[in-house]
Amino acid sequence: MRNVKLSLALLAATCLAAPVAAAPADAPNPMFTGRDLFDLSAASDSQISPDGRTIAYVRRSADIMTDKARSSIWLINVATGEQRPLAAGTGDHFSPKWSPDGRRLAYVSSAEGGAPQLFVRWMDTGQTVRVTGLPDSPQALAWSPDGRRIAYLMNVPDDGPKLGSAPEKPEGASWAKPLQVIDKVTYRADGAGYLKPGFDKIFMVEADGGAPRQLSFGAYFDGPPEWTRDGRAIVFSANRNADWELAGRESEIYRLDIASGQLTPLTNRKGPDTGPEVSPDGRQIAFIGFDDSPKAFEQANIYVMPVNGGPARQVAPGLDRDINQIDWAPDGRGVIVGYEENGSVTIARVGLDGGVRPITRDVGGGSYDRPYASGGFSVARSGAVAFTVSPIDRPADVAISTGGAMRQLTRLNDLNLGSKRLASLRTLDVRAPDGGSVPSWLMLPPTYQPGQRVPMILEIHGGPYASYGPHFSTDYQLYAASGYAVLFTNPRGSTGYGQAFADGIDKTYPDSDFNDLMAAVDAAVASGVADPNNLFVTGGSGGGILTAWIVGKTDRFKAAAAQKPVINWTSMALTADGVPFFARYWMGSMPWENYQSYWSRSPLSLVANVKTPTLVVVGSEDFRTPDSEAEQFYAALKLKGVPTTFVKVPDASHGGIAARPSQSAAKAAAIIAWFDRYRSKAPVASNDGASPTVAH
């Protein structure tokens, strides 16, 4: 059979390009288009200075000439809102980190070409020095308490396994590449490709330059460093057990004595202990973790223990949320934490007595093409907290919370988006057949008129242990500009609603989400907005799995687009970049132990039922849900005679499928073109108007 693979560039040209002889535009286009992706900027990694007067943040902007997002570091005067660049121009500049006294700022930059290096800027004089000349990029920068040294992570290569040797090559000969010998369980990673032999180790360098010193050793991957307050030791998280490759989620916290190199484990339990943070008085360590179980997802909890180890105490055990970031409050009486909640990230102060006081519930902006709940924070000595926000109509901006009041400090996209007609948002009240709530939102096209029914796309989030929220999304704005309403939901299994809600799909996914998603579709139709005869479905990763599952369970959608799906759990569990994880935690057994369970949860088992025209989309360098999964689905649909087309995004990983602006725009255009092919164009009037909330 001839293998049909459409070129993404050709498809984009077909969908996006103007006719050669088109007349010049008479006015700016008021609708959001793929070209607008090149004009967007987004803030991330907002780092507030110790005195709370200045915020350094990373600004990501697209470069239309290189089709890449470039990062620069900007400073914000908190009192006035005035901004100025600190590191911009050639190369990428990222990972800002203030010295303890706030007089210097360390960051990583590729301005000089080659591997990104560590730089330090003196804030009073503006002078900058390159501190390192490393073969690889430094990560996870950490200043010593006295500001004299900076610790960091860097990958240290090794020779890798050897197995025989090739004959000696004659001088000047041109031979094939040598054999690639692999002996690791995880030998490739999404976004990194095939991994070179080596391990992440902790280093230290003088803050004003000099030769770095390696502090940790051994054939293990060590985590980000955190200094003790006396500057004599570093604590970090790692799995240093002999069976670390197959140990799943296991890790402990270690103390590394800098003078002697002695390594002491501070925790010892079955489960991950990560993210250690030393208290302001130096007496305690706060960290996050959980007791490991066979479940696919466990929420991380807050723990505190003595700085030299000892019994760890869980803080706020009643806080039923997954803690993803932690830092000490300046007074040492509690910790500042971040966790997903109701589609956004909440930052809260958690007292050591267990009391929880939210600081803000509006953090967002870590994602771009789709509205995932994400975002981090930093804390000043005054207690002021810097973070990012992203409402439905804007990418991420920097904000600050002081004394309980939130103030937005940047408005990076008001100029270019202020004149655009963007989609609006409604909240849907959705009840699953069993009575459970399904948090859902409905985005309306800019041209929507009350009483009108419009085509609707159900867009499903990945993870599946993740969540969507009311945040900016380039995909959604492009769909809406093309006349589609967009329904997005957090079905059971989503994070931010407690452990029990997440457990709703354990060992039953994807079928356990089907009723929740169909209830949301029913509610969108009942609201008077969605045209029941013009329903479409798409999603990526976990959403791609569910898209493939849905078209095997129902014919109610006119067309579908399964993006980076899993179609066969057996092949996925043995080829994805999480081999030690998926079979053990998601499936609960090895494929050869319970193949019936693997097959019953695989969308491939339902292909005989599929009639819905289905587009299949994947990145060519996807190692999370490998492109072979999408290829199986495409081949099966072809053999079944179901209308299908296969789109590969060249050189794109799973997480980076929308990283290049042109490819992000073209991918959305391909999906819109596919849906347009099967969409009825006749306007449909609603029978009952457009109610903003409808219970199902």
Our measurement of the distance from residue 314's CA atom to the centroid of its chain's CA atoms, rounded to an integer in Å, reads 27
Looking at 473-564, list the stretches that DSSP marks H as alpha helix, in order from N- to C-terminal side.
474-481, 499-502, 514-526, 542-553
pLDDT at 693: 28
Tens digit of pLDDT for each residue in 587-600? Answer: 999 999 999 999 99
Our measurement of the distance from residue 166's CA atom to the centroid of its chain's CA atoms, rounded to an integer in Å, reads 42
For 9, which DSSP code?
H
How confident is residue 20, by pLDDT bands cut at 50, 70 and 90? very low
Q: What's the CA gap between 316 and 320, in Å, rounded?
A: 9
Q: What's the CA gap between 420 and 477, in Å, rounded?
A: 11
Could you tell me if residue 297 is inside a domain? no
Sheet of 263-265: strand order equals: 226-227, 233-238, 252-257, 263-265
Interacting residues of 656 by C-beta distance below 8 A, sequence separation 6+: 191, 619
How confident is residue 10, by pLDDT bands cut at 50, 70 and 90? very low
Tokens found for residue 139: 């990560």
Tens digit of pLDDT for each residue in 269-290? Answer: 999 999 999 999 999 999 999 9
Provide the β-strand partners of residue 98: 105
Task: List the CATH number of the domain containing 479.
Answer: 3.40.50.1820
Q: Which DSSP string do the residues of 313-359 spell out, in sequence order?
A: EEE-TT--S-EEEEEE-TTSSEEEEEEEETTEEEEEEEETTS-EEEE
Could you tell me if residue 166 is inside a domain? no
Strands 233-238 and 252-257: antiparallel
Tens digit of pLDDT for each residue in 365-384? Answer: 878 899 999 999 999 999 99
Could you tell me if residue 64 is inside a domain? no
Could you tell me if residue 677 is inside a domain? yes
3-state helix, strand, coil in the chain (%, to 5): 20, 35, 50
pTM here? 0.92
Nearest residue to 539 (alpha-carbon basis) of 374, 304, 372: 372
Could you tell me if residue 51 is inside a domain? no
- Tell whether the model's pLDDT for residue 4 goes beyond 90: no
Read off φ and ψ for residue 458, nearest 5 degrees.
Answer: -85, 115
Could you tell me if residue 616 is inside a domain? yes
Could you tell me if residue 521 is inside a domain? yes
Question: How far, in Å, are 49, 53, 80, 93, 125 from residue 77 at the CA level?
Answer: 10, 6, 6, 20, 17
- Tell whether the model's pLDDT for residue 550 goes beyond 90: yes
Could you tell me if residue 470 is inside a domain? yes
3-state SS class at 426? strand
Tens digit of pLDDT for each residue in 448-476? Answer: 999 999 999 999 999 999 999 999 999 99
**Rg over CA atoms, the chain:** 26
Domain that holds residue 529: 6-15+417-567+602-685
CA neighbours within 13 Å on the CB side: how many for 510? 31
pLDDT at 27: 76
Number of domains within the chain: 1
Tokens found for residue 210: 């000099």
Nearest residue to 399 (alpha-carbon basis) of 353, 436, 362: 362
Q: Which DSSP string do the residues of 176-199 spell out, in sequence order?
A: PPPP-----S--EETTTEEPPSEE
